A and B are shown apart, each in its own frame.
Chain A
Amino acid sequence: MKKNIRFFIVGSLFGIVFLKAQIISWFRIQEMFRFQSFHMYGVIGSAVITGLLSVLLIRKFNIKTMAGEEVVIPRKPFNKGTVIGGLLFGLGWGLTGSCPGPIFAQLGMGVPVAIVVLLSAMTGTWVYGLLRDRLPH
Chain B
Amino acid sequence: MPSTVQEPWPWYIAGPLIGLTVPALLLLGNKAFGISSNLRHLCAVCFPAKIPYFQYDYKSESWNLWFAAGIMAGAFLAMQFLHGDGHVAVAPALQQELSGYGINDYSSQVPVQLYNWPALLTLRGWLLLVGGGFLVGFGTRYANGCTSGHSIFGLSTLQWPSLVATVCFMLGGFLMANYILPVLLRL
Contact = CB atoms under 8 A, between A and B. Distances in A.
Interface of A: 3-34, 36-52, 54-55, 57-58, 63, 65-67, 69, 71-78, 81-101, 103-114, 116-130, 132, 135
B19 A11 contact: no
B99 interface: no
Contact of B11 (A38, A63, A77, A106): A38
Nearest to A1: B66
B2 interface: no
A54 B18 CA distance: 12
B68 to A, nearest CB: 5
Contacts of A119: 133
A119 to B, nearest CB: 7
A104 B116 CA distance: 16
Contacts of B173: 29, 32-33, 90-91, 93-94
Given A16-B78, A19-B82, A47-B152, A128 B142 contact: yes
Contact of B35 (A44, A101, A135): A101
A40 B23 CA distance: 21
Interface residues on B, range: 35 or more
Nearest to B159: A76
B168 interface: yes
Interface in B141-183: 141-162, 164-178, 180-181
Given A16-B82, A120-B134, A88 B128 contact: no
A43 B136 contact: no
B148 A33 contact: no
B154 to A, nearest CB: 5
21 contacts: A14-B74, A18-B78, A44-B147, A46-B19, A47-B15, A47-B156, A50-B22, A50-B156, A51-B20, A76-B150, A83-B164, A84-B143, A85-B165, A88-B142, A93-B172, A105-B74, A108-B71, A113-B120, A114-B110, A124-B138, A129-B51
B129 A8 contact: no
Nearest to A95: B132
B110 A106 contact: yes
B39 to A, nearest CB: 4
A120 B137 contact: yes
